[in-house]
């Protein structure tokens, strides 16, 4: 999984930071999303997908990254 955020779209609702605080945070001055971990561990992938669904501005994107075999 690789996450990207569009800070210009972010409306600072904080849903992402509340859902997966180890992956997302918010700037103190305006609440805009801060991406802490663009490639989080598999254990939080479900929570990341939940954060994407909760984002009212659709400012978070997730791409599934395939690792090469062997």
pLDDT tens, position by position, 9-22: 999 999 999 999 99
Domain boundaries, the chain: 2-63
The pLDDT score that the predictor gives to residue 70 is: 65
Task: Name the nearest CA neighbour of 24 among 6, 42, 46, 51.
Answer: 51
SS (H, E, C) the chain: CEEEECCCCCCCCCHHHHHCCCCEEECCCCCCEEECCCCCCHHHHHHHHHHHHHCCCCCEEEECCCCCCC
- What are the pLDDT digits (tens) for 19-33? 999 999 999 999 999
CATH of 2-63, one of 3.30.70.20, 3.50.50.60, 3.40.50.920, 3.40.50.10420: 3.30.70.20
pTM score: 0.90
- What are the pLDDT digits (tens) for 24-65? 999 999 999 999 999 999 999 999 999 999 999 999 999 987
Spatial distance between the Cα atoms of 58 and 10, rounded to a whole number of angstroms: 8
């Amino acid at each position: 999984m690789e996450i990207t955020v569009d800070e210009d779209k972010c409306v600072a609702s904080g849903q992402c930071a509340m859902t997966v605080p180890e992956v997302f945070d918010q700037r103190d001055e305006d609440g805009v999303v801060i991406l802490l971990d663009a490639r989080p561990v598999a254990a939080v992938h479900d929570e990341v997908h939940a954060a994407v669904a909760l984002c009212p501005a659709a400012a978070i994107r997730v791409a599934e990254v395939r690792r090469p075999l062997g």
